[in-house]
Structure 1
Amino acid sequence: MKTCFFVALLFFALAAQAAPVAAQSEQPTIYTIVPGDTLWGLSKRFLNDPYYWPNMWAANGTIGNPHFIYPGQRVRVYSDRIEIEPAPAAVAPQAPSQEAPKEVPPPPVQEEQQPSPFSVTGSEGFIMEKWMAPAGSIISIPQNRVMVGTDDIVYTDIGRVHGAFAGDRFSIYKKTGAISHPVTNVILGDRVIPLGELQLSEVEKDASKAIVTKSYQEISPGSFLLPYREKRVTVALKAADRDLTGYIVDSQTGNSALAVRDLVFLDLGTAQGVQPGNMLYIVRDVKPDQRWVLSRIEKLPVDVVGAVVVLQTNTNTSTAVIVKSVDTIYRGDRVEVRKNR
């Protein structure tokens, strides 16, 4: 009798220990990706949250480009998340054997034709805030030419008194107009675009001779200079460490209607806690129709129409790229991220 009691007691003790483990180890539902699936669609279908896709993308290092997923890839669907298993590697040809041949995965399904949105090439431009001052300007071009390009000679107002030396490199920019905030109408600065690069060859006291080493557009006298910095940078996706709310204040092209791959400027910078790689949702408020409610409703959940990734930052502004849109994006649209959403 004592032996039976001891066995029963041991059984209940083990069961009590196993119960929490079983409760914590949720068994996922396995789903296999088919042609036409997208991260956006998977998020909406399984989590009823179409804007969960950036979280899924960030958590799965196997997805280099968020717009490529593969038929045959499997996803593990949990109650609060989706995990994507790595795509199977292609199998190299082998000599015939008795084993069944291994399947080679079909080509990727492409949601949108676009390169990775996290490559900074130097052509993005930025908002030149009021506190920023040029290092100098191009003040003359030989033979009274109106514009120059790669390998041409120019003269600048940067000299030894400015700490310059032969061999110093500078980026060439031009201003294309003042940018006012779409909500407050406050002037944030000037939209600037890069024109090229130059290197000083001969330096005098307060002037220098330089050669244009690279040109993206025509360069003319009056173009201003800033110290050179490496242009081609890969920006890794990084979660914001705080809540952020701001606006799309302008675009690189100056267009009001925008879409995926367009470069935009935000009224958020390092002073607000924005970092390169942060992803923000593009949202719009939805106004309730008071005719159909019994009591007054002040606010509805926002409508998420897309997402941007920050590429580079200044103090109070930043340059970003639109990486997702389900509707036309406009200057003045709000961007936000809620850390604990």
Structure 2
Amino acid sequence: MFSIALLAGCASRPAAPVDNVQPVIDPPTAQPLAARALPELNAADLDAHMRADAPLRYVVKPGDTLWAIAGYYLRDPWYWPQLWDDNPDIANPHLIYPGEVLILTRSADGQPMLARARTERLSPHVREQPLDNIATIPLDAIRAFLTGPRLVSAKQINAAPYVVSFVDEHLVGGKGTTVYIRDIDLDGAPTESYSLVRDSGPYTDPVNGEILGRQAVPVGEIDIDTFDTVSTGRITRSYREALVGDRLLPLEQQDLVRHFYPHAPGAPVDGRIISVYDGVAAVGQYQVVTLDVGEDDGIERGHVLDIFEAGRVVRDPVKGGQVQLPPLQSGQLMVFKTDARVSFALIMRAQRAVHVGDTVAAPQA
């Protein structure tokens, strides 16, 4: 944890710890928002997106996110970068902290903008505080995803080393259990730490049935003690009970960063929700979903997409026959991690229950 010297009145507090799961966090940069790809609205258009009850003054609280703060000001929070765009007072909105006061003002061309409140000069009073600046989305909501499925190919999972038995003929294993492993590659310098995973079936394209990859569900982590034809290792971290046949894969780089910029895709998107973290049927705010579109389809971190529930088929009481009702918007999500064929997103808003099979599309301005 970093420390930073702050003047009195700009206090912050450390984020609540999460056992065994810590994402890699990138340091904030001072790059102005104007240098990034952002949705472009003129002053009049941005005014049209402002909430009528937007506060003139807001005190940043611990646990706030940029998305949540923008929701106090904008009907469509994903336009939040323009509240800070070309704002010399807040060159990087990620460098605001709990306790700071934001005021709603206007730029020279009349565009609404947020600025730091000016305060009277105080005599220096320095104290050490943990660095706890504001993230884009609630990190606690995606930390759990680090123990969720990862996408691998059938070739990868079938060629991976596997657990052949546990010490003392145990049927299951947990943290601290010694395990016996086959098929570790002994050539060169073999890896000493692995992710222990279980093949939980395919990610399937809901339209054409194509297999997009396999779901490798993390079970825990293993450190190898001895390398041989049958190697031995020890489970150092446990998310689920380990079973004979579970596979070993390289530890995945957990690059879930704090700072990225919500924006609309530059092209139409035609995707579907194909899976929900932890397998629940109905999805709500701040739950993680998998989409059947990824980097190959132009999807990138920060893309905001509208969610649509497929229209029901009902009977026409007058003319008879069946009528397909139009799709109904049910929420909005933001992509926070991408793969070539799939992407992973957090539900930011849910007006009604979201389901596997719902479609996603670029938002309409």
Band of TM-score, shorter chain:
0.5 to 0.7
CA contact (8 A) 2:43 2:109 kept: no
For the pair 1:62 / 2:93, whether they are aligned, the reply is: yes
CA contact (8 A) 2:142 2:288 kept: no
For the pair 1:208 / 2:231, whether they are aligned, the reply is: yes
Query: In the aligned structure 1, how far is the partner of 2:170 from the partner of 2:255?
Result: 31
Compared with structure 1, are the counterparts of its residues 184 and 86 closer, same or farther at alpha carbon in structure 2 (3 Å cutoff)? farther
Residue of structure 2 equivalent to 1:195: 219
Query: Mapping of 1:121-140 within 5 angstroms?
Result: 122-130=146-154, 132-133=156-157, 134-140=159-165
Query: In the aligned structure 2, how far is the partner of 1:149 from the partner of 1:194?
Result: 13
Compared with structure 1, are the counterparts of its residues 213 and 25 closer, same or farther at alpha carbon in structure 2 (3 Å cutoff)? closer
CA contact (8 A) 1:148 1:219 kept: yes
**Gaps in structure 1 of 5+ consecutive residues:** 1-23, 45-51, 96-112, 292-299
Compared with structure 1, are the counterparts of its residues 125 and 93 closer, same or farther at alpha carbon in structure 2 (3 Å cutoff)? farther
Residue of structure 2 equivalent to 1:224: 247
Query: In the aligned structure 2, how far is the partner of 1:73 from the partner of 1:177?
Result: 51
Map Cα deviations across residues 53-82 of structure 1 (whole Å, 9 max, x no partner). Answer: 1121576453689xx999974254999975
Aligned length: 278
CA contact (8 A) 1:173 1:194 kept: yes
Which amino acid is the alignment partner of residue 78 of structure 2?
P
CA contact (8 A) 1:235 1:311 kept: no
Provide the secondary structure at the position in 2 that maps to 1:271. Answer: helix
CA contact (8 A) 2:139 2:258 kept: no
Residue of structure 2 equivalent to 1:253: 278
Residue of structure 2 equivalent to 1:84: 114
CA contact (8 A) 2:145 2:288 kept: no
Alignment partner of 2:290 out of 227, 251, 265: 265
**Gaps in structure 2 of 5+ consecutive residues:** 1-41, 59-67, 85-91, 126-136, 317-324
Compared with structure 1, are the counterparts of its residues 169 and 304 closer, same or farther at alpha carbon in structure 2 (3 Å cutoff)? same
Shift of 1:137: 1.3
Identity %: 18
CA contact (8 A) 2:302 2:334 kept: yes
Shift of 1:218: 1.4
Alignment partner of 2:180 out of 155, 165, 171: 155
Alignment partner of 1:145 out of 150, 167, 170: 170
Compared with structure 1, are the counterparts of its residues 326 and 160 closer, same or farther at alpha carbon in structure 2 (3 Å cutoff)? closer
CA contact (8 A) 1:183 1:332 kept: no
Residue of structure 2 equivalent to 1:328: 353
Query: Mapping of 1:164-203 within 5 angstroms?
Result: 165=190, 168-203=192-227
Provide the secondary structure at the position in 2 that maps to 1:281. Answer: strand
Map Cα deviations across residues 154-175 of structure 1 (whole Å, 9 max, x no partner). Answer: 121233445552x521111113
Query: In the aligned structure 1, how far is the partner of 2:241 from the partner of 2:352?
Result: 35
Shift of 1:251: 0.6
Compared with structure 1, are the counterparts of its residues 282 and 88 closer, same or farther at alpha carbon in structure 2 (3 Å cutoff)? farther
Query: In the aligned structure 1, how far is the partner of 2:109 from the partner of 2:342?
Result: 38
Query: In the aligned structure 2, how far is the partner of 1:192 from the partner of 1:58?
Result: 39
TM-score by length of 1: 0.64
Compared with structure 1, are the counterparts of its residues 156 and 70 closer, same or farther at alpha carbon in structure 2 (3 Å cutoff)? same
CA root-mean-square deviation: 4.5
CA contact (8 A) 2:277 2:289 kept: yes
Alignment partner of 1:277 out of 298, 302, 324: 302
Provide the secondary structure at the position in 2 that maps to 1:277. Answer: coil
Q: If you compute each CA radius of gyration, which structure gives the higher value, 1 or 2?
A: 1
Map Cα deviations across residues 283-323 of structure 1 (whole Å, 9 max, x no partner). Answer: 35779xxx9xxxxxxxx997543222323333211222212
Alignment partner of 1:305 out of 330, 338, 346: 330
Provide the secondary structure at the position in 2 that maps to 1:85. Answer: strand
TM-score by length of 2: 0.60
Which amino acid is the alignment partner of residue 179 of structure 2?
V
Shift of 1:123: 1.4
